[in-house]
Structure 1
Amino acid sequence: MDDGELGDAVGRARDGDQTAFGVVYREVHPMLLGYLRGMLGDEADDIASETWHDVVRDLRTFRGDGQAFRAWAVAIARHRALDHLRRISVRPRTTPLDGRTEEPVSERGSDGAALENLSTEYALSLIAELPRDQAEAVLLRVVLGLNGPMAAKVLGKQPGAVRTASHRGLKRLSERLSGAEEK
């Protein structure tokens, strides 16, 4: 779904259209959950629920397009995740990601979908091993599809810092994948 279609669905959801909210949820939740799993591991589901509670509560005040909605939702998720990490007073833990990250329904055959899910799971597990700033930047830019300024706004950093972290993270991932292929 492109940003225009998502923005239209958000507008209808803001006006009380439950079907439109379902569309928004199905489009954004898998990416949001992947982001949270990269930060929190197994605790992501609870924080995702808290995030959607806040999204529903404050949806009437939101103004913007699909990209802005993604950034707004992930900013809420990030604040919730950081609050959670402060509450448990530990550094962010990375854990192997399981196959529970839902993927959008595909028109392809089950074999193609299975390969895509395996590669998504593997990619998310590699991202979870990156340093936190790089993992967050890669998740926001690649998984959630936010542009540099939007990702920077979510992280409270300058766009250049987010681009650098994203570049370094992607470079590490590339090196890791190249090393795996040589084995």
Structure 2
Amino acid sequence: MSLEAFSDEALLALAARGEEAALKELFRRYAGAFLGLARRMGLDAASREDVVQEAFSKIWQKAREFDPRRASARAWLLAIAHHTTVDHLRRLEARPKPLEPEEEAEAFDLPGVGLDEEGHLNRIRLAQALKRLSPEEREVIEVLFYQGYAHQEAALRLGLPLGTLKTRARRALARLKEELREA
């Protein structure tokens, strides 16, 4: 039986009953989005794959907890991926750091104009652009994108109304884009 026509909610209900094929279909639909989320949150390729595997393991274990009255299946799945990525980042932060810091100057030797081999902006340009933002804009960017908090969590953490946080985030991202274009 093909599960392609089933809704995400129906697939979660089947996964809750132990149907592995339903989990495979959810994996087919969402693994790419989970990988993209982990990439945007700064994980390397190996860590991204670990996070996706861990997220789907959690989905398999917690499928019975899904309640379609509280959230859509998509929101629930992406929340698990987000929380799994944040947990992974926190575990990485807790690891001891090497005694000798890496030299940031080497990043200037990357090929291309401010780009590394994968086409990502190099960290030094990004750090310089972040320094040119206002403290409020920088704080919002750090909490949302570097610490990995969801908008509601970030609003609570910063003591801001959700709408204010979202407005600052939009402005901060627009300014950051402008700063990176000029750099």
TM-score, normalisation: structure 1 = 0.53
CA 1:26/1:154 → structure 2, altered by over 3 Å: closer, same or farther?
A: farther
Distance 1:55 1:24 in 2: 10
- Unaligned 5+ segments in structure 1 are 91-120, 141-150
Which of the numbers 42, 45, 49 marks the counterpart of 2:49?
45
Is contact 2:41–2:146 with CA below 8 Å preserved after alignment? yes
Q: Once the 2 structures are TM-superposed, how far is the Cα of residue 69 of structure 1 from its aligned partner?
A: 1.7
1:46-96 alpha-carbon deviations (Å, 9 max, x no partner)? 233222222222222222322332343134313422432233256xxxxxx
- Unaligned 5+ segments in structure 2 are 1-5, 98-117, 131-140
Question: Residue 163 in 1 paired to residue 170 in 2?
Answer: no
Aligned twin of 2:94: 87
Distance 1:152 1:134 in 2: 7
**Structure of larger gyration radius:** 2
Which of the numbers 5, 9, 12 marks the counterpart of 2:11?
9
Is contact 2:155–2:165 with CA below 8 Å preserved after alignment? no
Is contact 2:151–2:162 with CA below 8 Å preserved after alignment? yes
Runs of 4 or more, structure 1, over 4 Å off, are 128-131, 153-156, 176-180
CA 1:32/1:47 → structure 2, altered by over 3 Å: closer, same or farther?
A: same
SS of 1:16's equivalent in the other structure is coil
Aligned twin of 2:115: none
Distance 1:52 1:28 in 2: 10
Aligned twin of 1:60: 64
Distance 1:169 1:17 in 2: 44
TM-score, normalisation: structure 2 = 0.53
Distance 1:136 1:27 in 2: 26
Higher relative contact order structure (alpha carbons within 8 Å, sequence separation ≥ 6): 1
CA 1:9/1:32 → structure 2, altered by over 3 Å: closer, same or farther?
A: same
Distance 2:21 2:153 in 1: 28
The number of residues matched between the two structures is 135
CA 1:60/1:167 → structure 2, altered by over 3 Å: closer, same or farther?
A: same
Distance 2:155 2:85 in 1: 11
Of Structure 1 and Structure 2, the greater helix share is in 1
Distance 1:155 1:75 in 2: 13
